[in-house]
Amino acid sequence: MDSSFGILGLREGDLDRYIAFLNYIRRRYLDVSSRSELILALEGTGHNFVYERRGFVVEQVRRTIQLGGDLEARDAGFLRA
């Protein structure tokens, strides 16, 4: 690979645009559904946060399942919005 390429094989300006694109797509994806939510890994965790903070992941999954059940019940008319 050409030594003028950096991270991910992208030139510096291209890397900045790539990161901006990823951020845009992330936000745009969230806009598609009124039920979507961005959950960020805890500060101080890295790429393997799933293994580093298992309790956080379990808590988020449980919360998401509960929220999904509440929304389904509301949509079925069992709960008031």
At 75, is the secondary structure helix, strand, or coil?
Answer: helix
pTM assigned to the model: 0.56
Cβ atoms of 30 and 38 within 8 Å: the answer is: yes
- Tens-place pLDDT, residues 7-61: 778 877 888 898 899 999 989 988 988 878 888 889 998 889 899 999 999 999 8
Q: Is residue 13 within a helix (H) or strand (E), and if so which, with residue range?
A: helix 12-31
pLDDT at 67: 81
What number of helices (H) and strands (E) belong to the chain? Answer: 3, 0
CA distance 60 to 56: 6
Please determine, for residue 76, whether its predicted confidence score (pLDDT) is greater than 70.
Answer: no
pLDDT at 74: 65
